[in-house]
Homo-oligomer: A and B are copies of this chain.
Amino acid sequence: MRLSYRNLDKTKAGKILIKGPSVASLESLLTAERVKNYQTSTAAGWVYNYAAKAVDETSLNLLEQLAEEQQVLGKYKAVLDGVVMNPGEGRMVLHHLTRGVLGKIVRHNRKDIGKFYAEQNKRIAAFAARVHSGSIKGSTGKPFETVVQVGIGGSDLGPRAMFLALEQYVVREKKTLAMNARFISNVDPDDAAAVLASLHLDSTLFILVSKSGTTQETLANENFVRQALKKAGLDDDKHMVAVTSETSPLAKSPRYLASFYIDDFIGGRYSSTSAVGGAVMSLSLGADIFARFLAGAHEGDKAALEPQMRKNAALLDALIGVWERNALKMPYTAVLPYSQALSRLPAHLQQLDMESNGKSVNRANLPVKYGTGPVLFGEPGTNGQHSFYQELHQGTDRVPLQFIGFQDSQSGMDVVSEGSTSQVKLKANLAAQIVAFAKGSSNASEPNKNFAGNRPSSLLLNARLTPETLGALLSHFENKVMFQGFLWNINSFDQEGVQLGKVLTKAVLAKGNMDSALKAYSSLLGL
């Protein structure tokens, strides 16, 4: 397929969509029949239900046309085949390859990249086995009991969210974690200080994660950790491994027990399934768990190749998001997992989505004239119900919602009170919220008790949060974001917007070339 790139407002379907065709209110649209029909099964047991989204047959047909005009599946295949799909940086986009091969064999400098990623996983698994068996120990001979990931952004948010998502799963399946995991990210010294104060350093292994090997925060925190290790009388080199690119200053250094590799074809926010997530997850949860997580993500990637829009959950989700952003003009979206284990998934998705699609120029570097990536936020339910849901129900603006739910809890521990288990209560709240948002409830005599309704939501539902279902969930969102990038004709794989801050920070630190306002702020901050 020959791929062409057009802005959303240059496609036939996009032109109609941007005019905002009207859809009947969800109050009338949302029937039992529709709950049954407006859903599709996808990878690893997931069901995507969009019955409570503000779309109808006309808009869905328009979105289907848009997906075809924008050749989104063709572009996804180009990603899988190793075409340079990150034009800004002139790079391939290969995170899918960390979980399996779905396209052509991808080579770079004659190296088979798929094999390279698989090899890193094997090296990590072998290293983790030696740590777990005690054949690799701390510098005073104590077995390692805790692993601390030192990284920021993509080296932190995804791995942290994934670890938290599976921690209790592993505790239940294996009785105990292989190692406890902690995370240091912020350059604020209070972050490292708090984490280190809670640890026994002699039994702690640190993973330094930086693709470039030059991330300011991570190098500062490495220094913080090394000084603490030395102060505790330990050999710091024997308590640290690196995850980095083969060309970074950290690679193959004798200052690390081991180094595991990634490359420039995996963006930080897409690196949870690479060695960036692999090292910490294999050490804490087990290499078997990480392998199952990858298998789930691979299954999700396969499902996103489904050519029929109505059966492709990631594509449907992407299209409905564009509908909400550009037809309904909603500039935000909330992700609401009804699962405490997914407490940090929204923070990860905030990076994934906003860093990928918060762009104002298209792939050809020309300005776009329509809204791109929305502001994404969220907290787990039912917690959010007692917090910001007030505004979601009765605020002056409508915020589109993405619920995530599970039939069964992860821990399997539960109690009955007032006639039902906590898990049943959790699910009852979830069902109730979807309908309350969609249908509202009128109260003419007391308008402060009036609910306008017609507030759209979708539901991603599965039996239980496991390594496989988590992997497929991650893949769903990664592919959704990628599809939206194709629909908006932007490059979802660079992040030039982080650069200016870095440049000005360097200027402040060097007391160099600063404009007068920057000097004034520096002075205000005692710099």
- Determine the chain B residues whose CB is within 8 A of the CB of A192 once the complex forms: 413, 422
Task: Answer whether residue A191 sits at the interface, using C-beta atoms and an 8 A cutoff.
Answer: yes
Q: Which residues of chain A from 174 to 226 have a CB within 8 Å of any chain B CB? A: 185-194, 197, 216-217, 219-221, 223-224
Interface pair A425/B191, CB less than 8 Å apart: no
Across the interface, A387 reaches (CB within 8 A) one of B351, B499, B509, namely B351
- Determine the chain B residues whose CB is within 8 A of the CB of A22 once the complex forms: none
Interface stretch (choices A136-144, A281-289, A516-524): A516-524
Give, as a whole number of angstroms, the nearest-CB distance from A409 to chain B: 5
Give the docked Cα–Cα distance between A436 and B433 (Å): 40
Give the docked Cα–Cα distance between A426 and B508 (Å): 11
Interface pair A186/B383, CB less than 8 Å apart: yes
23 interchain pairs, CB-CB under 8 A:
A35-B521, A152-B386, A153-B387, A157-B387, A188-B340, A188-B423, A189-B421, A194-B411, A220-B417, A220-B422, A351-B386, A357-B391, A365-B447, A375-B391, A377-B377, A385-B501, A390-B497, A393-B497, A393-B501, A427-B525, A432-B501, A432-B505, A436-B501
- Contact indicator per residue, chain A 394-435, by CB within 8 Å of chain B (1) or not (0): 111101000001010111011111111111111111111111
- A167-B189 contact in complex given A425-B509, A504-B432, C-beta closer than 8 Å: no
Interface stretch (choices A70-78, A111-119, A438-446): A438-446
* Residue picked from A187, A339, A414, most chain B C-beta under 10 Å: A187
Classify chain A's interface size: 35 or more
- Contact indicator per residue, chain A 21-41, by CB within 8 Å of chain B (1) or not (0): 000000000111011100000
Give the docked Cα–Cα distance between A221 and B415 (Å): 9
Task: Answer whether residue A478 sits at the interface, using C-beta atoms and an 8 A cutoff.
Answer: no
Interface pair A190/B340, CB less than 8 Å apart: yes
Interface pair B425/A32, CB less than 8 Å apart: no
* Residue picked from A185, A366, A389, A431, most chain B C-beta under 10 Å: A431
- Determine the chain B residues whose CB is within 8 A of the CB of A520 once the complex forms: 31-32, 35-36, 51
Across the interface, A386 reaches (CB within 8 A) one of B154, B365, B450, namely B154
Interface pair A190/B409, CB less than 8 Å apart: yes
- Determine the chain B residues whose CB is within 8 A of the CB of A159 once the complex forms: none
Give, as a whole number of angstroms, the nearest-CB distance from A251 to chain B: 20
Interface stretch (choices A234-242, A257-265, A468-476, A488-496): A488-496
- Determine the chain B residues whose CB is within 8 A of the CB of A432 once the complex forms: 501-505, 507-508, 518
* Residue picked from A47, A338, A409, A498, most chain B C-beta under 10 Å: A498
Give the docked Cα–Cα distance between A32 and B522 (Å): 11
Task: Answer whether residue A3 sits at the interface, using C-beta atoms and an 8 A cutoff.
Answer: no
Give the docked Cα–Cα distance between A25 and B397 (Å): 27
- Determine the chain B residues whose CB is within 8 A of the CB of A522 once the complex forms: 428, 431
Give the docked Cα–Cα distance between A524 and B168 (Å): 25
Interface pair A394/B497, CB less than 8 Å apart: yes
- Determine the chain B residues whose CB is within 8 A of the CB of A359 once the complex forms: 390-391, 394-396, 448
